[in-house]
Structure 1
Amino acid sequence: MSEKKRHAAIVLAAGKGSRMKSDVPKQYLILNGKPVLYYALRAFEDSFVDEIVLVTGAGQESYCQKEIVEKYGFQKVTHVIAGGKERYDSVYRGICALDGADYVYIHDGARPFIDDALLLRAKENVEQYHACAAGMPSKDTIKIVDKDGFVADTPQRKYTWMIQTPQVFDYPLIHDAYEQLYQHMPEVQITDDAMVVETMLQTPVKLYEGSYNNIKITTPEDLVIAESFLHV
């Protein structure tokens, strides 16, 4: 009988939310009576995931521990730690906080609409492909532009996807990729975790179906859309 694999989540809640035009970081804004961050944590808490590392803004650890983790009874949150200057710094700190994980699910705390079906798709894909990311086919035509804003290329729409989280990896793979990233800073510009694996290890990343509802709360309009999702 094979040994049970350990699944861990890193939930990122260190963003400042400047585009939200609010003094309150977007992950703490209230959505239907609860903080936006609550919903992502609840999805992982109620899933097969064994452990959650919550990465907050520096100085917000105590607030998150008391007002979110303890208040809502999240039992799987094993660490509440401060993030770094950039997103990749926060992810790396989350990776280093884990002990003994086989798979790591890296998720934006400002994406409240993950569910068990999406997480099961992530689990199935990471066990088969070792590196994968949630996404959905683009509904719009995408244009590649040059530095002056003129169209340089129009890729076929069937090959363009909007990338989401969770992005999920074998733990040794993502740990090694981030270790190599820090050896090649600052010449490497990173936008997401899949790119770290692609660039540092030349490992292909499989895209799996996320959800068009799996939006990131970034602007005031997003909060209105999120409220509508909850009341459908």
Structure 2
Amino acid sequence: MYKDYYVSVIVAAAGMSNRMGSKINKQFINIDNEPILVHTLNKFEESSYIDEIILIAKEEEVEYCRKEIVKKYGFKKITKIIKGGKERQDSIYNGILALDEKCDIVLTHDGARPFVRKENIIDGIKGVIEHDVCVVGVPVKDTIKVVDDIDNVHHTPKRSMLWAAQTPQCFWKSILQKGYEYAINEGIVGTDDSSIVEKAGYEVKMIMGNYDNIKITTPEDLIIAESLLKVDDNLKSKKKTI
């Protein structure tokens, strides 16, 4: 709860994991002896501002999540485990329909993005109250090239205007639901949740995130994740000794 607003988060964990090249869903791969998904869910479970977690899983993994994730690790805020759809967009819509009637603010988050910080969650919730819709992200560091169908450079956009969108993406529930209903009626497919509400006519505010809020997608990302966990553990150890 934040200022009497009921806050929910939809965690999307129904992806195909094709780029990971793993026999199991990447969300269930261990880092620091716990599944990636557990690290992600802990951030929202531990946030005093989050009232409800809706977990989206593949249909064939719903029971696994119930027993091996929710029950095993004692999550209390996960109220529902919902089966995902054909695309991420379908999965999130299933999550929207499952939200508690009391929900005012809803965050959407990638299950494979375990390094979200508590301040990102707080900033996102505050951002909704101030801007209606906001997205955590970071300015890009590299020069970006836009290419044509045969990979010739078409143009080079101004780098200072480019941000890499992350999650959480944060909305008034009513806006996210209207955005998705508009997308369904118009046959729109968005690359993320904020792009869907953009196409429905809403303005989206970018708010500063962190470069370590990576989405674990490829085997190389696992190496980075292990390194980030070591850094985090070292920081926690230093705090305890101070």
**TM-score if structure 1 supplies the norm length?**
0.96
Q: Contact 2:28/2:36 (CA < 8 Å) preserved in 1?
A: yes
Aligned to 1:36: 36
Quote the offset at 1:189 in angstroms: 3.0
1:57 paired to 2:28: no
Aligned to 2:182: 180
Distance (Å, rounded) in 2 between the aligned partners of 1:42 and 1:109: 11
Q: Any stretches of 5+ residues in structure 2 without a counterpart?
A: 232-242
1:89 paired to 2:90: yes
Amino acid across the alignment from 1:170: W
1:224 paired to 2:223: yes
How many aligned positions are there? Answer: 228
Look up the SS of the partner of 1:231 in the other structure.
Answer: helix
- After TM superposition, the structure 1 stretch with the greater mean CA deviation from structure 2, 143-152 or 85-94, is 143-152
Distance (Å, rounded) in 1 between the aligned partners of 2:158 and 2:82: 42
1:130 paired to 2:129: no
Distance (Å, rounded) in 2 between the aligned partners of 1:158 and 1:3: 35
CA deviation map 1:113-155 (0-9, x unaligned): 0121111111121110011111100000011112221111111
Amino acid across the alignment from 2:152: F
Look up the SS of the partner of 2:128 in the other structure.
Answer: helix
Distance (Å, rounded) in 1 between the aligned partners of 2:193 and 2:213: 17
Q: Contact 2:27/2:112 (CA < 8 Å) preserved in 1?
A: yes
Q: Runs (4+) of structure 1 moved beyond 3 Å?
A: none
Pairing 1:76-225 to 2, within 5 Å after superposition: 76-99=77-100, 100-185=102-187, 188-199=188-199, 201-225=200-224
Quote the offset at 1:229 in angstroms: 0.3
Q: Contact 2:89/2:189 (CA < 8 Å) preserved in 1?
A: no
Distance (Å, rounded) in 2 between the aligned partners of 1:35 and 1:86: 23
Instruction: Report the structure, 1 or 2, having the larger helix content.
Output: 2
Q: Contact 2:137/2:208 (CA < 8 Å) preserved in 1?
A: yes
CA deviation map 1:167-203 (0-9, x unaligned): 0100000001111111112xx231000110001x211
Look up the SS of the partner of 1:169 in the other structure.
Answer: strand
- Identity of paired residues, percent? 45
CA deviation map 1:15-48 (0-9, x unaligned): 1201101111111101110000011110000111
CA deviation map 1:78-122 (0-9, x unaligned): 000100000000000000000221011000000000121111111
Look up the SS of the partner of 1:117 in the other structure.
Answer: helix
Distance (Å, rounded) in 2 between the aligned partners of 1:209 and 1:109: 20
Amino acid across the alignment from 1:39: H
Amino acid across the alignment from 1:139: K
Distance (Å, rounded) in 2 between the aligned partners of 1:131 and 1:3: 17
Q: Any stretches of 5+ residues in structure 1 without a counterpart?
A: none
